[in-house]
Amino acid sequence: MTQDISRYHRQYLFKKIGEEGQRKLVASRITIIGCGALGTVLVNTLARAGVGFIRIVDRDFIELNNLQRQVLFDEDDIKENLPKAIAAERKVKKINSSIKVEAIVSDVNFTNIERFIEGADLVLDGTDNFETRFLINDACVKLKKPWIYGAVIGSHGLTMSIIPDETPCLRCVFESAPPPELTPTCDTAGIIAPASMVIASLEATEAIKFLTGNKQDLNKSLYSYDVWTHETKSFRLEGLRDATDCPTCKSGKFEFLTGDQAPKTTTLCGRNAVQITRSDRVKLDFKELATRFEKVGEVKFNPFMFQAKIDGYEFTIFPDGRAIIKGTNDPAQAKTVYSKYVGV
Ligand SMILES: [Zn+2]
């Protein structure tokens, strides 16, 4: 079946794309991991460009302080208590009903990442932490999926395009993740929207080049740009892959794809909150959960999220049992209240 592509006319008039490139784009499948400052711009731009299938994976729900930079969301999404992936999917359906979107509300970890990138021609980084990026890198190098790295803080950001077996990978460039206490985050250093928009736009351009068959034009450097100072740096990466002893590309060691199966806690920096994920496959019954919580606190839920306020804690619980508990930075305390009210 030949799809009518006339809505993309101004795009395929651009010679490097052309009608043939546009048809390739329409037949493409991508996974975008993280739907915040970078991810919303990626989803918005690539849905409008006509990428035929977009899988959006994000673990979080929308808060008022996200709207300053997360361009797909609005105040109604917050009133409706929507997870970011679901709100993004709804917006895309209004922007371009001719493409397919799949929203996945989940933490991305070593147990599930390979499933999320399966079938994708390209993976895009919309995350905000090194741990997940190294995980994406391991999974993409293992499954030979090209991916585009992007990161932003303050007014400054970085991007790099990675083609397994051809270019250096993220671990060829950054041997290991810096310790979290030394890494500024957008909760400590802030972030201005133009910075994330520029970096995500560069990522989206790389995606369009790759998916339209213009692989030779991909950025071959680690590129850094500051929207405030206009400082630009381009670190050339030729030869780096041969020169390093990268455990991922050289030894095929995927250290981020292994881990233990115990329930895991992650302190969400600057938010006074802890996330708890569990690896057993549960499907929580929110109605049943509500009867337990209602006796002790205030409860509201929809098919995607369950929220309750109890003992000074704010619980946000997802159907797969994952929870974000606000009101503490202490993982042990969060685990205690989780098992008290949700049970493990
Ligand atoms: Zn490498």
pLDDT tens digit sequence for 181-213: 456 666 668 999 999 999 999 999 999 999 999
Please check whether residue 140 is in contact with residue 162, taking contact to mean a CB–CB distance below 8 angstroms.
yes
Strand intervals (E) in 25-96 = 29-33, 53-58
Q: How far is the CA of 90 from the centre of ligand 1 (A)?
A: 37
pLDDT tier for residue 344 given thresholds of 50, 70 and 90: low
In this structure, which amino acid lies at residue 119?
G
Whether pLDDT at 94 is above 60 = yes
169 a catalytic residue:
no
- What pLDDT score was predicted for residue 186? 63
Q: How far is the CA of 98 from the centre of ligand 1 (A)?
A: 37
Question: 26-40, 43-57, 205-219, 329-343: lowest mean pLDDT where?
Answer: 329-343
- What pLDDT score was predicted for residue 260? 60
Beta-carbon contacts of 184 under 8 Å, excluding residues fewer than 6 positions away, are: 153, 154
- Ion ligand 1 neighbours (CB, 5 A) are 169, 171-172, 246, 248-249
Annotated active-site residue in 186, 246, 249, 269: 186
Q: What is the mean pLDDT of residues 271-284?
A: 83
Please check whether residue 184 is in contact with residue 178, taking contact to mean a CB–CB distance below 8 angstroms.
no
Q: How far is the CA of 2 from the centre of ligand 1 (A)?
A: 40
Of 180 and 244, more confident: 244
In this structure, which amino acid lies at residue 27?
A
Q: How far is the CA of 244 from the centre of ligand 1 (A)?
A: 8
122/140 Cα distance (integer angstroms): 9
Q: Is 0.85 surpassed by the pTM of this model?
A: yes
Q: How far is the CA of 172 from the centre of ligand 1 (A)?
A: 4
Q: What is the mean pLDDT of residues 247-262?
A: 82
